[in-house]
Homo-oligomer: A and B are copies of this chain.
Amino acid sequence: MADRKITTENAPSGVTAAAGFMAGAAMAAIKKADKRDVTVIYSTVPASAAGVFTLNKVKAAPVLLSIGRLASGKAQAVVVNSGNANACNGEQGMKDALAMAAEAAAVLNIPEEMVLVASTGVIGKKMPMDKVLPGVREAAGVVSPGGGSLAAQAIMTTDTYPKETQVRLQLGGKTVTIGGMAKGSGMIHPNMATLLGFITTDAAISDACLKQALRYAVERSFNMITVDGDTSTNDMVVIMANGMAGNEMIKDDSEDFRSFREALAQVCDKLAIDIARDGEGATKLIEVEVRNAGTERDARLAAKAVAGSSLVKAAIFGNDANWGRVICAAGYSGADFDPAKVDIFLGNVQVAKDGGSLEFSEELALKALKGSTVKIMLDFKSGPFSATAWGCDLSYDYIKINADYRT
C-alpha cells in the first residue's frame, strides 16, 4: 500500500495538513499557566464528519454533545480543551460545553450546531468558564493553516511529546491529504475510542463511507492499544472530510475507498502507536502480535491481554524474558487456543515452543528486551488470523505520575 500511492511526510502540520483546514491555540490557564490548553480546529467549508466515542457508562458532557451533533454527519469545527474533563458536572457541564461551542461558532461565524467539543483532564471539577471562554475566543480568532502543531501541543496532558502525522495519496489524479493529531498517556485502554484523536482530510467522501472507514481504522489502531486498563469518560476520535481535494466523491466500496481507508488506517496506526509509546511512565513500546489464531477475535483478545498485563509490563520494564507471564495472560484473555501449540518469540528469539520451555540465548533475549520497542510474538498455529496490540512497560514513574502523593 505505502509503496503504491502514499507517502508519509514529517512536516509538522497534522490537522492542518489537508486543504481548507486551520487551527488555533490559546493559553487559558485552565489548570496551569504558560501551557496552551485550548484549541480550535476549523474547516473553511462544511465537512462530512464521523466519530467514535468511549463506551464508559459515565460520559463527559462534551462527549454527549458531540455524539448528538454527529448524528447529522456534518461538522465544521472542533473546540478542545485540556486541564479539565468536564465530566461528572451534571447539567452545568452540558451548559458549559454548549457555551464553548457557541463561543467558537460566533467567532468563526458558523452555526453552533456545526461545532463539536472535546475535553480532557481531571474529572468532577467545574469548568472555570471565566478562563475557558476567553481561551476559546482567542483560539478561534487565531486559526490559520499553519496552526496544526500548536494545536497538537494544546491537547497534551501528561503526554511528553505532541502526536501528529499526515499522509498523502492520489485518487483519480488528485492529491488527497489525511492529517491527524492525538493525545493519550493515562486512562488508556481498548474499548472504542480511548483517547482524543482528531483527523482531517480534504477527500470528497460520503458520510456513510467516512464513518465506515473510521471504524475500520480505529478498530485496528486506537482500539488495540492499552496503557493501564482504564477506559476514560472522555475519549473520542473525530474525523472531518471537506472535499477540497477535488477527487471524485467516494461513495461506495470502490478501489478509491479502499485506498482511502488504508491511508486513514496508517494515520490512526501512527497516532495510536505514539500514544502507547508515550504511556504514563513508559520507557518502552511493547508490540504484541498474535499469529495463526483460529479467529480474528481470538487473535485480538490474546494480543490485547498480553499488552495489558501488569505482570508482563513489569517484566518488560525489568528486561525479564518471562514468557510464562505472556502465555498466562493469553490464557485468561478469553481467546480460544491450544496452550500446547503456542510458540513465543521475543524479537527474533524463540523463548517457548509448543507451550513449553526451550533453551535460548539469554544474551540475545536481553538484547531484544533492552530496545526501545519490544516485540512479543505468539504463534497459535491453529488458523489464518492475526492481530497486533500495542502497550508500554509499567515503571516506577507510572506510580509517581498517578499517585500524586499527599501526606
Would you give the 0/1 interface string for A123-152, flagging 1 where the beta carbon is closer than 8 Å to chain B?
111100000000000000000000000000
Min CB distance, A64 to chain B, in Å? 11
Give CA–CA (A56, B323) in the complex, Å: 16
Q: List the one stretch of A65-73, A101-109, A262-270, A312-320 in contact with chain B.
A: A312-320
Min CB distance, A359 to chain B, in Å? 12
A220 at the interface (CB under 8 A from B): no
Would you give the 0/1 interface string for A143-183, flagging 1 where the beta carbon is closer than 8 Å to chain B?
00000000000000000000000000000000000000000
Q: List the one stretch of A39-47, A82-90, A205-213 in contact with chain B.
A: A82-90
Query: In the complex this chain forms, how many copies of it are found?
Result: 2
Point out which of A126, A318, A333, A399 has the most chain B C-beta atoms below 10 A from its C-beta: A399
A298-348 contacts to B (CB < 8 Å): 308-311, 314-315, 317-320, 322-325, 327-333, 335-337, 339-340
Q: Report whether over half of chain A's contact residues are helix, strand or loop; otherwise say mixed.
A: loop
Q: Which residues of B contact A125 (CB under 8 A)?
A: 357
Task: Show the binding face of A for B, using Cβ within 8 Å.
Answer: 55-59, 85, 87-90, 122-126, 186-187, 189, 191, 228-233, 308-311, 314-315, 317-320, 322-325, 327-333, 335-337, 339-340, 352, 354-357, 366, 369, 394-396, 398-400, 402-407
Beyond the given A90-B340, A186-B311, could you list 5 further A-B residue pairs with CB under 8 A, ordered by the A residue number? A124-B357, A125-B357, A230-B325, A233-B331, A399-B399
